[in-house]
Protein backbone atom coordinates (compact mmCIF):
# COMPACT_ATOMS: atom_id res chain seq x y z
CA UNK A 1 0.00 0.00 0.00
CA UNK A 2 1.39 3.40 -1.02
CA UNK A 3 1.37 6.07 1.69
CA UNK A 4 1.83 9.62 0.44
CA UNK A 5 4.47 11.73 2.10
CA UNK A 6 3.05 14.52 4.28
CA UNK A 7 3.08 17.81 2.40
CA UNK A 8 4.60 20.88 4.02
CA UNK A 9 5.07 24.49 2.93
CA UNK A 10 8.12 26.68 3.53
CA UNK A 11 8.02 30.45 3.01
CA UNK A 12 11.34 32.28 2.93
CA UNK A 13 12.64 35.68 1.96
CA UNK A 14 14.90 38.51 3.10
CA UNK A 15 14.01 40.77 5.99
CA UNK A 16 11.09 43.17 5.37
CA UNK A 17 9.92 41.22 2.31
CA UNK A 18 6.53 40.37 3.87
CA UNK A 19 7.02 36.62 4.32
CA UNK A 20 5.10 36.44 7.60
CA UNK A 21 2.09 38.20 6.07
CA UNK A 22 2.19 35.79 3.15
CA UNK A 23 2.50 32.75 5.41
CA UNK A 24 -0.48 33.91 7.52
CA UNK A 25 -2.68 34.32 4.43
CA UNK A 26 -1.70 30.86 3.19
CA UNK A 27 -2.37 29.36 6.62
CA UNK A 28 -5.86 30.89 6.64
CA UNK A 29 -6.59 29.70 3.11
CA UNK A 30 -5.23 26.16 3.48
CA UNK A 31 -5.94 25.36 7.14
CA UNK A 32 -2.35 25.69 8.26
CA UNK A 33 -0.28 26.50 11.32
CA UNK A 34 2.96 28.47 11.21
CA UNK A 35 6.38 27.49 12.52
CA UNK A 36 8.68 30.51 12.78
CA UNK A 37 12.20 29.96 11.44
CA UNK A 38 13.77 33.08 12.92
CA UNK A 39 16.87 32.74 15.10
CA UNK A 40 15.88 35.68 17.34
CA UNK A 41 12.10 35.40 17.61
CA UNK A 42 12.59 32.35 19.82
CA UNK A 43 13.58 34.74 22.64
CA UNK A 44 10.95 36.09 25.01
CA UNK A 45 10.90 39.85 25.43
CA UNK A 46 12.71 40.50 22.15
CA UNK A 47 9.70 41.68 20.21
CA UNK A 48 10.13 44.97 18.37
CA UNK A 49 13.74 44.46 17.31
CA UNK A 50 12.98 41.01 15.87
CA UNK A 51 9.81 42.11 14.07
CA UNK A 52 7.73 39.81 16.26
CA UNK A 53 4.39 41.45 15.53
CA UNK A 54 1.94 38.86 16.82
CA UNK A 55 -0.93 40.99 15.52
CA UNK A 56 0.06 39.73 12.07
CA UNK A 57 -1.33 36.34 13.08
CA UNK A 58 -4.78 37.85 13.69
CA UNK A 59 -6.69 38.02 10.42
CA UNK A 60 -10.25 38.73 9.37
CA UNK A 61 -12.07 36.16 7.29
CA UNK A 62 -15.66 36.08 6.05
CA UNK A 63 -15.19 32.41 5.14
CA UNK A 64 -14.58 31.51 8.78
CA UNK A 65 -17.39 33.68 10.17
CA UNK A 66 -20.30 31.73 11.77
CA UNK A 67 -23.53 31.72 9.76
CA UNK A 68 -25.32 33.58 12.52
CA UNK A 69 -23.00 36.54 12.29
CA UNK A 70 -22.86 38.89 9.34
CA UNK A 71 -19.51 40.04 8.04
CA UNK A 72 -16.10 38.80 9.03
CA UNK A 73 -14.60 37.51 12.23
CA UNK A 74 -11.07 37.61 13.58
CA UNK A 75 -9.14 34.36 13.32
CA UNK A 76 -5.91 33.74 15.23
CA UNK A 77 -3.51 31.65 13.17
CA UNK A 78 -1.65 29.21 15.47
CA UNK A 79 2.11 29.76 15.57
CA UNK A 80 5.07 27.88 17.01
CA UNK A 81 8.72 28.50 18.03
CA UNK A 82 8.12 32.09 19.10
CA UNK A 83 8.88 33.04 22.72
CA UNK A 84 10.28 29.64 23.69
CA UNK A 85 13.37 30.67 25.74
CA UNK A 86 14.64 33.66 27.69
CA UNK A 87 17.28 35.95 26.11
CA UNK A 88 19.86 34.73 28.58
CA UNK A 89 19.57 31.17 27.24
CA UNK A 90 21.71 29.90 24.38
CA UNK A 91 19.73 28.63 21.40
CA UNK A 92 21.04 26.91 18.28
CA UNK A 93 20.16 24.96 15.17
CA UNK A 94 20.03 21.59 16.95
CA UNK A 95 17.50 22.90 19.47
CA UNK A 96 15.48 24.52 16.71
CA UNK A 97 15.36 21.33 14.65
CA UNK A 98 14.20 19.29 17.62
CA UNK A 99 11.40 21.72 18.48
CA UNK A 100 10.41 22.14 14.83
CA UNK A 101 10.14 18.35 14.41
CA UNK A 102 7.87 18.20 17.44
CA UNK A 103 5.71 21.06 16.15
CA UNK A 104 5.39 19.46 12.70
CA UNK A 105 4.25 16.16 14.18
CA UNK A 106 1.62 17.92 16.28
CA UNK A 107 0.29 19.98 13.37
CA UNK A 108 0.01 16.91 11.14
CA UNK A 109 -1.82 14.99 13.88
CA UNK A 110 -4.36 17.81 13.99
CA UNK A 111 -4.91 17.37 10.25
CA UNK A 112 -3.46 20.75 9.37
CA UNK A 113 -0.73 21.95 7.03
CA UNK A 114 2.61 22.93 8.61
CA UNK A 115 3.97 26.18 7.15
CA UNK A 116 7.56 27.04 8.08
CA UNK A 117 8.25 30.74 7.57
CA UNK A 118 11.36 32.81 8.23
CA UNK A 119 14.62 34.21 7.03
CA UNK A 120 17.20 32.18 8.96
CA UNK A 121 18.55 30.05 6.15
CA UNK A 122 20.32 27.51 8.33
CA UNK A 123 17.18 26.79 10.38
CA UNK A 124 15.05 26.41 7.27
CA UNK A 125 17.58 24.16 5.59
CA UNK A 126 17.96 21.96 8.68
CA UNK A 127 14.24 21.12 8.65
CA UNK A 128 13.51 21.10 4.92
CA UNK A 129 16.57 18.99 4.06
CA UNK A 130 16.22 16.88 7.22
CA UNK A 131 19.74 17.48 8.56
CA UNK A 132 21.19 14.51 10.42
CA UNK A 133 23.54 16.17 12.87
CA UNK A 134 26.77 14.34 13.76
CA UNK A 135 28.12 14.11 17.29
CA UNK A 136 30.31 17.17 16.82
CA UNK A 137 33.58 15.46 15.86
CA UNK A 138 36.05 17.31 13.60
CA UNK A 139 34.74 17.05 10.06
CA UNK A 140 37.31 17.20 7.27
CA UNK A 141 34.54 17.01 4.68
CA UNK A 142 33.04 20.18 6.13
CA UNK A 143 36.40 21.93 5.95
CA UNK A 144 36.85 20.94 2.30
CA UNK A 145 33.39 22.26 1.48
CA UNK A 146 34.06 25.52 3.30
CA UNK A 147 37.33 26.02 1.43
CA UNK A 148 35.35 26.30 -1.81
CA UNK A 149 33.38 29.30 -0.53
CA UNK A 150 34.34 32.94 -0.76
CA UNK A 151 35.00 34.97 2.39
CA UNK A 152 31.64 36.76 2.00
CA UNK A 153 29.81 33.43 1.79
CA UNK A 154 31.68 32.10 4.81
CA UNK A 155 30.73 35.18 6.79
CA UNK A 156 27.07 34.67 5.87
CA UNK A 157 27.27 31.06 7.02
CA UNK A 158 28.86 32.10 10.32
CA UNK A 159 26.19 34.75 10.81
CA UNK A 160 23.45 32.15 10.47
CA UNK A 161 25.21 29.90 12.97
CA UNK A 162 26.00 32.61 15.50
CA UNK A 163 25.25 36.22 14.63
CA UNK A 164 27.06 37.52 17.68
CA UNK A 165 30.28 35.70 16.76
CA UNK A 166 30.04 37.00 13.21
CA UNK A 167 29.48 40.63 14.14
CA UNK A 168 32.25 40.54 16.74
CA UNK A 169 34.84 40.10 13.96
CA UNK A 170 36.68 43.14 12.68
CA UNK A 171 36.83 44.00 8.97
CA UNK A 172 40.13 42.18 8.49
CA UNK A 173 38.90 38.94 10.06
CA UNK A 174 35.72 39.05 7.99
CA UNK A 175 37.91 38.67 4.91
CA UNK A 176 40.18 36.02 6.46
CA UNK A 177 38.93 32.65 5.15
CA UNK A 178 41.05 30.59 7.53
CA UNK A 179 39.71 32.43 10.59
CA UNK A 180 36.14 32.28 9.29
CA UNK A 181 36.37 28.54 8.68
CA UNK A 182 37.72 27.98 12.18
CA UNK A 183 34.88 30.06 13.69
CA UNK A 184 32.31 28.10 11.68
CA UNK A 185 33.81 24.80 12.80
CA UNK A 186 33.66 25.81 16.47
CA UNK A 187 30.09 27.14 16.21
CA UNK A 188 28.97 24.04 14.29
CA UNK A 189 30.37 21.75 16.95
CA UNK A 190 28.56 23.70 19.67
CA UNK A 191 25.26 23.61 17.77
CA UNK A 192 25.57 19.88 17.17
CA UNK A 193 26.44 18.94 20.75
CA UNK A 194 22.93 17.71 21.54
CA UNK A 195 22.97 15.38 18.51
CA UNK A 196 19.21 15.38 17.80
CA UNK A 197 17.84 12.11 16.43
CA UNK A 198 16.50 11.77 12.87
CA UNK A 199 12.77 11.98 12.24
CA UNK A 200 12.51 8.18 12.32
CA UNK A 201 13.54 8.30 8.65
CA UNK A 202 10.27 10.07 7.84
CA UNK A 203 10.73 12.39 4.88
CA UNK A 204 8.41 15.29 4.16
CA UNK A 205 7.43 16.63 0.76
CA UNK A 206 8.20 20.35 0.84
CA UNK A 207 7.06 23.15 -1.43
CA UNK A 208 9.53 25.99 -0.85
CA UNK A 209 8.24 29.45 -1.73
CA UNK A 210 10.57 32.43 -1.92
CA UNK A 211 9.19 35.95 -1.66
CA UNK A 212 11.20 38.35 -3.79
CA UNK A 213 11.13 42.10 -4.36
CA UNK A 214 13.45 44.51 -6.20
CA UNK A 215 16.32 45.46 -3.91
CA UNK A 216 15.69 49.26 -4.13
CA UNK A 217 12.08 48.72 -3.01
CA UNK A 218 13.22 46.41 -0.24
CA UNK A 219 15.76 48.98 0.96
CA UNK A 220 13.01 51.62 1.17
CA UNK A 221 10.88 49.26 3.25
CA UNK A 222 13.82 48.50 5.52
CA UNK A 223 14.46 52.20 6.14
CA UNK A 224 10.79 53.04 6.71
CA UNK A 225 10.37 50.17 9.15
CA UNK A 226 13.56 51.10 10.98
CA UNK A 227 12.50 54.73 11.51
CA UNK A 228 9.03 53.68 12.64
CA UNK A 229 10.45 51.26 15.20
CA UNK A 230 12.96 53.78 16.50
CA UNK A 231 10.71 56.83 16.67
CA UNK A 232 7.27 55.36 17.38
CA UNK A 233 7.73 51.65 17.99
CA UNK A 234 9.66 51.81 21.23
CA UNK A 235 12.61 49.75 20.07
CA UNK A 236 15.15 51.61 22.20
CA UNK A 237 12.86 51.28 25.23
CA UNK A 238 12.73 47.53 24.63
CA UNK A 239 16.53 47.27 24.74
CA UNK A 240 16.58 49.40 27.91
CA UNK A 241 14.08 47.06 29.56
CA UNK A 242 16.07 43.98 28.57
CA UNK A 243 19.21 45.46 30.13
CA UNK A 244 17.92 47.22 33.23
CA UNK A 245 14.85 45.13 34.14
CA UNK A 246 15.73 41.68 32.77
CA UNK A 247 19.45 42.07 33.59
CA UNK A 248 20.68 41.11 30.10
CA UNK A 249 24.25 42.38 29.79
CA UNK A 250 25.29 44.87 27.13
CA UNK A 251 27.68 42.23 25.78
CA UNK A 252 24.87 39.71 25.40
CA UNK A 253 22.64 42.26 23.69
CA UNK A 254 25.41 43.13 21.26
CA UNK A 255 25.79 39.43 20.45
CA UNK A 256 22.23 39.38 19.11
CA UNK A 257 23.40 41.72 16.36
CA UNK A 258 21.60 44.30 14.23
CA UNK A 259 19.01 46.30 16.23
CA UNK A 260 20.13 45.04 19.63
CA UNK A 261 23.82 45.57 18.94
CA UNK A 262 23.58 49.14 17.66
CA UNK A 263 20.92 50.31 20.10
CA UNK A 264 23.01 48.86 22.94
CA UNK A 265 25.98 50.87 21.67
CA UNK A 266 23.81 53.98 21.45
CA UNK A 267 22.47 53.54 24.98
CA UNK A 268 26.04 53.21 26.22
CA UNK A 269 26.82 56.53 24.50
CA UNK A 270 29.34 54.87 22.20
CA UNK A 271 27.59 56.16 19.06
CA UNK A 272 25.25 59.09 18.38
CA UNK A 273 21.63 58.77 17.28
CA UNK A 274 22.59 59.78 13.74
CA UNK A 275 25.29 57.09 13.70
CA UNK A 276 22.80 54.59 15.07
CA UNK A 277 20.40 55.16 12.18
CA UNK A 278 23.13 55.13 9.54
CA UNK A 279 25.01 52.10 10.84
CA UNK A 280 21.89 50.07 11.54
CA UNK A 281 20.31 50.82 8.17
CA UNK A 282 23.52 49.75 6.42
CA UNK A 283 23.81 46.60 8.53
CA UNK A 284 20.20 45.52 7.85
CA UNK A 285 20.62 46.11 4.11
CA UNK A 286 23.77 44.00 4.10
CA UNK A 287 22.01 41.32 6.11
CA UNK A 288 19.15 41.13 3.60
CA UNK A 289 21.65 40.64 0.79
CA UNK A 290 23.40 37.88 2.69
CA UNK A 291 20.05 36.18 3.21
CA UNK A 292 19.47 36.18 -0.55
CA UNK A 293 22.99 34.85 -1.11
CA UNK A 294 22.21 31.97 1.22
CA UNK A 295 18.93 31.16 -0.55
CA UNK A 296 20.52 31.31 -3.99
CA UNK A 297 23.33 29.00 -2.84
CA UNK A 298 20.72 26.59 -1.48
CA UNK A 299 19.19 26.52 -4.96
CA UNK A 300 22.56 25.71 -6.48
CA UNK A 301 22.80 22.79 -4.07
CA UNK A 302 19.66 21.34 -5.64
CA UNK A 303 16.76 22.74 -3.60
CA UNK A 304 13.99 24.06 -5.84
CA UNK A 305 12.66 27.41 -4.66
CA UNK A 306 9.56 28.82 -6.35
CA UNK A 307 10.05 32.58 -6.32
CA UNK A 308 6.84 34.58 -6.07
CA UNK A 309 6.01 38.27 -6.03
CA UNK A 310 2.56 38.22 -4.43
CA UNK A 311 -0.10 36.17 -2.68
CA UNK A 312 -1.95 35.22 -5.87
CA UNK A 313 1.11 33.49 -7.31
CA UNK A 314 1.84 31.73 -4.03
CA UNK A 315 -1.79 30.59 -3.58
CA UNK A 316 -1.84 29.01 -7.03
CA UNK A 317 1.39 27.12 -6.38
CA UNK A 318 0.21 25.84 -3.00
CA UNK A 319 -3.18 24.78 -4.36
CA UNK A 320 -1.56 22.78 -7.14
CA UNK A 321 0.97 21.26 -4.75
CA UNK A 322 -1.57 20.13 -2.17
CA UNK A 323 -3.99 18.75 -4.75
CA UNK A 324 -1.37 16.83 -6.73
CA UNK A 325 -1.57 13.11 -6.03
CA UNK A 326 -4.46 13.47 -3.60
pLDDT at 39 over 80: yes
Statement to judge: residues 55 and 201 lie in one domain: yes
Asked if residue 150 and residue 78 are part of one domain, the reply reads: no
- How many domains are contained in the chain? 2
Q: Are 99 and 224 in the same domain?
A: yes
Q: For residues 305 and 147, what is the distance between their CA atoms, to the nearest angstrom?
A: 25
Q: What pLDDT, on a 0 to 100 scale, did the predictor assign at position 20? A: 95
Domain end point (choices 149, 175, 193)? 193
Q: What pLDDT, on a 0 to 100 scale, did the predictor assign at position 112?
A: 98
Tell me, what's the pLDDT at 197? 45
pLDDT of residue 201: 46
174, 219: one domain = no
**In the structure, what pLDDT confidence band is assigned to residue 190 with cuts at 50, 70 and 90?**
low
What local confidence, expressed as pLDDT, does residue 230 receive?
A: 96
CA distances from 319 to 30, 128, 170, 316, 326 (A): 8, 19, 47, 5, 11
Same domain, 114 and 152: no
Q: Place 162 in a pLDDT band, splitting at 50, 70 and 90.
A: confident
2, part of any domain: no
Last residue of a domain, one of 170, 193, 216: 193
113 strand-pairing partners:
32
Q: Is residue 35 part of a domain?
A: yes
Residue ending a domain, choose from 193, 217, 243: 193
Same domain assignment for residues 143 and 56: no
Per residue in 269-281, pLDDT (tens digit) is 999 999 999 999 9
Q: Give the pLDDT band of residue 8 (cuts 50, 70, 90).
A: very high
Q: What's residue 109's pLDDT? A: 97
Residue 51: inside a domain, yes or no? yes
Query: Residue 139: its pLDDT value, please?
Result: 63
Q: Does a structural domain hold residue 24?
A: yes
Band of pLDDT at residue 134, cut at 50, 70 and 90: low
104 lies in some domain = yes
Is pLDDT at 98 greater than 90 in this prediction?
yes
pLDDT at residue 72 in the model: 62
| Residue 191, pLDDT above cutoff 90 | no
The answer to whether residues 183 and 76 belong to one domain is: no
Residue 221 has pLDDT above 60, yes or no: yes
Q: Reply yes or no on whether the pLDDT at 66 is more than 60.
A: no
200 has pLDDT over 60: no
Model confidence over 295-326: pLDDT tens digits? 999 999 999 999 999 999 999 999 999 998 75
Residue 303 forms part of a structural domain: yes
- What CATH number has the domain bearing residue 73? 3.40.50.300
> Is the residue at 1 inside a domain?
no
Mean pLDDT of 220-229: 97
Above 80 in pLDDT, residue 29?
A: yes
Q: Does residue 129 lie within any of the structural domains? A: yes
What pLDDT score does 166 carry?
A: 84
Q: Are residues 266 and 185 in the same domain?
A: no
Q: Within 10 Å of residue 167's Cβ, how many Cβ atoms? A: 20
Q: What is the pLDDT of residue 63?
A: 56
- Residue 281 sits in the same domain as residue 153: no
Distance CA 281, CA 285 (A): 6
Residues 82 and 199 in one domain: yes
pLDDT band at 2 (very low <50, low <70, confident <90, very high): very low
Strands (E), the chain: 7-12, 32-36, 58-61, 73-76, 79-80, 113-118, 205-211, 306-308
Which of 139-153, 194-208, 216-230, 298-312 has the lowest average pLDDT? 194-208
Query: Does residue 146 sit in helix, strand or coil?
Result: helix
Residue 32 and residue 66 share a domain: yes
Same domain, 241 and 162: no
Domain span including residue 103 = 7-133+194-323
Amino acid sequence: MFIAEPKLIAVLGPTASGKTELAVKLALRFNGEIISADSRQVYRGMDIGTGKDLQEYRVESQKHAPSSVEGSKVTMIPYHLIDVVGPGTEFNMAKFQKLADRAIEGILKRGKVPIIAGGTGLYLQAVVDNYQLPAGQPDMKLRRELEKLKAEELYGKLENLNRGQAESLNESDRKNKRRLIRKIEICSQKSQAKNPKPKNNLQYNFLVLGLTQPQPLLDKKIYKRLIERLERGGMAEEVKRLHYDDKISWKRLEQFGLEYKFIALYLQHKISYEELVELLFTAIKQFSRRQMTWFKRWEKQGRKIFWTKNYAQAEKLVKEFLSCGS
